[in-house]
Amino acid sequence: MGPAFSIEKVYRRSQDVVARDIQGEFILIPITSGIAEAQDEIFSLNETGRLIWERIDGKKNLKQISDGLKQDYSENSQDIEADVCGLTEELLKRKMVEEVTNN
Amino acid sequence: MDDTPYISIEKTTTTSLWKNRQPSLLGQLDMELTERCNNNCQHCYINLPEDDLRAKSKELSLPRIKEILRDAVSLGCLRVRFTGGEPLLRPDFSEIYLAARRMGLKVLVFTNATLVTPELARLFSEVPPLEKIEVTVYGMRRESYEQVSRKPGSFSAAQNGIDLLLRHKVPFMVKGVVLPANKSEMEEFSLWARKFPGIDYPPAHAIFFDLNCRRNEKRNRLIKALRIKPEEGVEIITRDRSGYLKSMKQFCAKFMAAGGENIFCCGSGSGGASVDAYGVLQPCLLLRHPDVVYDLEKGSLRDAMENFFPAMRRRKSDNAEYLARCARCFLKGLCEQCPAKSWMEHGTLDTPVEYHCDIAHLQARYMGLIGENELAWEVVDGKSRVEKFVNQDEQPAPA
């Protein structure tokens, strides 16, 4: 079981991952061990994933991120929330993002 | 918004990230962190003494190395190879390594492992390089190892380094060299190498040695004396006959054709480059001809990759011997003759290298591509011979 997940929570990008755009390919490169399952894995994000990744800023919660995306893109709001939550859950599972707690 | 998976896992060892996109201006950068080495291997092309203070004083500083790495990243570089000499000789190696990893670079380290400490092994474990560390091993016993390394205590230091990598679960592979001192240990080495986690293939061996990187005549006399005869070398690489022929069919299908008058038929200076220990950019790890190297203190990595190396790559040969032989030879892809080898052997960019020419001809005879007395550059139907070899089911008898 991964950490408890909620759309009301705020997440930030882990310092142990470097995001790079190489020739239009958006990749996440783990710096420390324990992020990738194998020692030679890196991760590639699609366009949606990249948009969401860039908005996970440690300040807005996932609901606010979804609302921001709804304003910028005329997509079905349920689809956007599903995308934001789906990706964040995956990133959380892989320790590429972490929950921001108030204390 | 997008139907593809948000996130996909790529194996850095097998994936070309840019797939159908234009490759980066600089996909890989090699950095020789020093030309010095704590070993003094008989055959080595780049091993100034560890205590060579003159060389040490000229080496790039840590801030300058970081700058070069940052420039490389800005050009799309994904992988840096730290080599030497012995890169771990630098007291700031850990900082260099961490800086590269923090910039999002995969790091390949070439080392003899003798200087691996518990701290360094822990660092490799906690901040993995994303590439297997490559450890060269010079012998299976102290006597053979140290006859090559000419450094007392180096065998046990290397064993200790390998043990540390194992204990900290750092992925690595071992490579061998074939020298008179250790030739009889080849099979033993292969069996030993396969015991390590993740290695289920025969280890690579350096068999045909390069001459000294700075064209040092004294070192070259020794290297030439140690070089294996082409016949014996080819006998070694064809030991696994069916494996050799299978891989050569795949190779020949892609790379066998005469190169014409262009000097640069290789990938040198295209998508990759190499920085020497003093900040001079070379088109590849071996090529130091003064006409084709670029001083990074006076220019930029971008300028070198965008302008200097592309102009270099357009150079054509006016050497009659090269034009009569190498330019017409359908074994060009098989032969190790290249501008770097020409530079190391002759000080030029385009001179045939007899040692490599002999090796290529022997291999071609083994594959049945040429007859006993044929010279490959005189063959006019090379293309169809290659096609026949690639498509034949049965294996030709050795020449």
- The pLDDT tens digits for B331-379 are 999 999 999 999 999 999 999 999 999 999 999 999 999 999 999 999 9
> Does A23 sit within 8 Å of B21, measured CB to CB?
yes
Q: Does residue A103 lie in a domain region? A: no
Residue A37 lies in a domain: yes
Strands (E), A3-100: 10-13, 17-22, 25-30, 41-45, 57-61, 97-99
Q: Closest residue of B to A32, CA-based?
A: B127
How many domains, in total, are found in chain A? 1
- Residue A71 has a pLDDT of 87
- CATH for B26-228 is 3.20.20.70
8 Å CB contact of B6 and A31: no
Q: Do B12 and A40 touch (CB under 8 A)?
A: yes
Name the pLDDT band for A7 (thresholds 50, 70, 90): very high
Domain extent, residue A88, equals 10-97
Q: Is the pLDDT of residue A2 over 60?
A: no
- CA atoms of B331 and B334, how far apart (whole Å): 5
Contacts B9 to A, Cβ<8 Å: 36, 41-44
What are the tokens at B243? Answer: 């494996």
pLDDT attached to residue A38:
67
- State yes or no: cis peptide before B85, omega within 30 of 0: yes
* Cβ within 8 Å of residue B96, ≥6 positions away: B33, B62, B65, B66, B82, B90
Residues of B in contact with A31 (CB under 8 A): 101-102, 104, 127
- Closest approach of A87 to chain B, Cα-based (Å): 6
Residue A44's CATH number:
1.10.10.1150
Report the DSSP beta bridge partners of residue B205.
B176
Backbone angles phi, psi at A97, to 5 degrees: -130, 160
Q: Is A1 contained in some domain? A: no
- Please give the pLDDT value at position B11: 66
Q: Starting at the earlier edge strand, list the strands of the sheet with B133-137.
A: B205-206, B172-177, B133-137, B106-111, B79-83, B26-32, B271-275, B280-282, B294-295
Inter-chain contacts counted by CB atoms under 8 A, chains A and B: 104
According to DSSP, the residues that pair with A43 across neighbouring strands are A28, B9
**What are the backbone angles phi and psi of residue B218, rounded to the nearest 5°?**
-65, -45
Confirm whether A2 is domain-assigned: no
pLDDT of residue B339: 97
For residue B101, the chain A residues in CB contact (below 8 A) are 31
CB contact under 8 A, B130 and A18: no
Specify the DSSP element, H or E, that contains B295: strand B294-295
Shortest distance, CA A38 to any CA of chain B (angstroms)? 9
ipTM metric: 0.89
Residue B329 to residue B385: CA distance in whole angstroms:
13
**CA B247 – CA A42 distance, rounded (Å):** 29
What is the tens place of the pLDDT at every residue in A20-64? 998 888 999 999 987 776 667 788 898 889 999 999 999 999 999
A89 touches chain B (CB under 8 A): no
Separation between Cα atoms, residue B87 and residue B67, nearest integer Å? 18
- In this structure, are strands B26-32 and B271-275 parallel, antiparallel, or unpaired? parallel
Q: β-strands B280-282, B294-295: how paired?
A: antiparallel
Nearest CA to B30 among B72, B76, B74, B83? B83
The reply to whether A75 falls in a domain is yes
* Cβ–Cβ gap A29/B5 under 8 Å: no
Closest in B7, B19, B128 to A45, CB measured: B7
Query: Is residue B125 helix, strand or coil?
Result: helix
CB < 8 Å to B130, chain A = 29-30, 39-40, 42
Residue A57 maps to a domain: yes
Reading the block at residue B132, the tokens are 């297997």
Average pLDDT, chain A: 87
A4 within a domain of the structure (yes/no) = no
Question: pLDDT by residue (tens digit) across B171-212?
Answer: 999 999 999 999 999 999 999 999 998 887 889 999 999 999
- Which pLDDT score, from 0 to 100, does residue B201 have? 81
Nearest residue in chain B measured CA to CA from A69: B1
- Kindly list the averaged pLDDT for each block of 10 residues, start to end, along chain B of length 399: 67 57 85 98 95 97 98 95 97 98 96 98 96 96 97 98 96 94 94 88 91 94 94 94 93 91 93 97 97 97 97 97 96 94 96 97 96 95 94 67
**Nearest CA distance, A100 vs chain B (angstrom):** 22
pLDDT of residue A48: 87
pLDDT score at B379: 95
For residue B49, give the H/E element and its range.
strand B48-49
Question: What stretch of H or E contains B230?
Answer: helix B230-237
The DSSP symbol for B183 reads G
Which residue of chain B is at minimal alpha-carbon distance from A15? B102
Instruction: Confirm or reject contact between A90 and chain B (CB < 8 A).
Output: yes
The DSSP result for A60-81, as a single string, is EEHHHHHHHHHHHS---HHHHH
CA distance B158 to B137: 8
Question: d(Cα B370, Cα B50) in Å, to the nearest integer?
Answer: 47
Question: What chain B residue is nearest to A82 in terms of C-alpha separation?
Answer: B1
Domain residue spans of chain B: 26-228, 241-262+317-393
Is residue B189 within 8 A of residue B176, CB to CB? The reply is yes
The nearest CA of chain B is from the CA of A33 a distance in Å of 5
